[in-house]
Amino acid sequence: MFDPAKIVEKAKHSTFYLKLLNWALYRMVPFNKPHGFKIVEIGDYRLKTIMPYKKRNFNHIKGLHACGLATISEFATGFLLLSKLDMKKYRMILQRLEVNYLYQGKIDATAEFTISKEWIDERIITPLKRQDSVVVPCEVAIHDLKGNHLTTGIVHWQFKEWSKVKTKA
C-alpha cells in the first residue's frame, strides 16, 4: 500500500525516494507538473524546493513569472506543514498569500521553508485547543542559484480540526 508519510521519511536520506516523492507529487498535484517544481531537500522541519528557469515559467520579459514564484511559496510551506500534521485531524486551506518581489529571476530559483516542533505547537496545536480555527503566516524566501533574493512570501494558512468544519450539503 502507498504510504506518503513513509516515502517522505525515506526521501530525507535517499535520492531514489526523493525522486519517487517528486513523481508522486506530480500525480497528486497536477497543477504544478508543467512548472517542474521539485523538492530538492527535505528534513524533519525544513524543505527546499526548486523552480526551474524554463519557458513555461517565464513572464513576458523572460524572467521567472510572479505567479510561479507565489505558487512555489505556497507549495513549499504547504507541503512541509502537511507532512508534520495529522491530516485526518486537521483541515488546512490557503487564507491569503502576499509576495514582495525584490529581484528579477533569470536562473533557477529555490524556496526554503524552516519551522520547528515548538513553532507548530505554539502557532497551531495549542491555539486550536482554545479556538475553532487559527490563521498562521508562514514566511518563505526565494533566492536564485547565485544567491539573489528574489521574493519574500507570506503564506497565510488556516487550520481547523475536521470536527469543527461545517460544509453545505
pLDDT band for position 104 (50/70/90)? Answer: very high
The structure's pTM equals: 0.91
Q: Say what the pLDDT of residue 28 is.
A: 84
Kindly report, residue by residue over 118-143, the tens digit of the pLDDT.
Answer: 999 999 999 999 999 999 999 999 99
Kindly report, residue by residue over 31-77, the tens digit of the pLDDT.
Answer: 888 899 999 999 999 999 999 999 999 999 999 999 999 999 999 99
Q: Taking Cα atoms as reference points, which of 25, 55, 28 lies closest to residue 40? A: 25
Give the start-to-end residue ranges of the domains of the chain.
4-164
Looking at domain 4-164, its CATH architecture is: Roll (3.10)
Q: Say what the pLDDT of residue 169 is.
A: 63
Query: CA-to-CA distance for 110 and 62, rounded, in angstroms?
Result: 18
